């Protein structure tokens, strides 16, 4: 079975905790240590809040799909939405030197994961996240 665990749920922040519960256990199953499981959970969570806020513009009743798999000695997460896509180059984090709220999510995702590929397709946007075992985020520079 290629995709081991599939989750479908509405774009409501209520369910963020449920999704984190599943991701954290899946990362542990895939062989990541406790700290890495926390990081991966954070990155996937941030990507999901972006789908809720940007792709679905805070509508809470839209469908989100997430596929978790173990692949190439790591964890792969595919997130699918049917909301508003943007050009991949518009998905950009901001300069962190400027202290202000917001604009931290993409930065966190890129620091934590080894791969983050966004594909806005016809009526369907996909975000593919991948992290291999042993790679660490570069915390605090």
Partner 1 sequence: MNIATRQNGTSTVVDVKGDIDLYNSPEVRKVILEELKEKKTARVIVNLSGVRYIDSSGVASLVEGLKVSRTLASRFMLYGLSPAAREVLELSRLIRVFEVYASEEEALKAQ
Ligand X SMILES: Nc1ncnc2c1ncn2[C@@H]1O[C@H](COP(=O)(O)OP(=O)(O)O)[C@@H](O)[C@H]1O
Minimal distance, residue 29 CB to ligand X, in Å: 23
First to last CA, the chain: 39
- DSSP secondary structure, 53-77, as one string: IIISTT-SSSEEEEEEEEETTEEEE
Distance separating alpha carbons of residues 31 and 48, to the nearest angstrom:
23
Strand partners, 69: 76
Q: Assess contact for 128 and 116: CB atoms under 8 A.
A: yes
The partner in contact with residue 86, picked from partner 1, a copy of itself, ligand X, none with C-beta cut-offs of 5 to 8 angstroms by kind, is: ligand X
Could you say which residues in the range 21-80 bind ligand X, by CB under 6 A?
Answer: 50-51, 53-55
Judged by the rule CB under 8 A, the positions of this chain that interact with a copy of itself are 1, 4-10, 14-15, 17-22, 24-26, 28-29, 61, 68
Among 33, 35, 71, 86, binds ligand X (CB under 6 A): 86
Binding residues (CB under 8 A) for partner 1: these are 13-14, 16-17, 20, 35, 38-39, 41-42, 45-46, 49, 52-53, 96-97, 99-102, 104-105, 107-108, 111-112, 137, 139-141
Angle formed by the axes of helices 16-29 and 34-50, nearest 10°: 140
C-beta separation of 138 from 85 below 8 A? no
> Of ligand X, partner 1, a copy of itself, none, which one does residue 61 interact with (CB within 5 to 8 Å by kind)?
a copy of itself
For residue 54, the minimal CB distance to ligand X (Å) is: 3
């Amino acid at each position: 079975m290629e995709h081991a665990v599939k989750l479908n749920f509405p774009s409501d922040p209520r369910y963020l905790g449920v999704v984190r519960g599943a991701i954290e256990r899946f990362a542990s199953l895939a062989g990541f240590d406790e700290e890495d499981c926390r990081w991966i959970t954070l990155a996937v969570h941030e990507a999901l809040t972006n789908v809720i806020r940007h792709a679905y513009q805070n509508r809470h009743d839209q469908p989100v799909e997430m596929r978790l798999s173990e692949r190439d000695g790591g964890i792969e997460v595919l997130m699918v939405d049917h909301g508003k896509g943007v050009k991949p180059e518009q998905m950009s984090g901001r300069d962190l030197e400027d202290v202000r709220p917001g604009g931290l999510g993409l930065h966190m995702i890129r620091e934590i994961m080894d791969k983050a590929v966004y594909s806005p397709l016809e009526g369907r946007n996909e975000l593919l996240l991948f992290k291999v075992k042993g790679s660490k985020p570069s915390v605090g520079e």
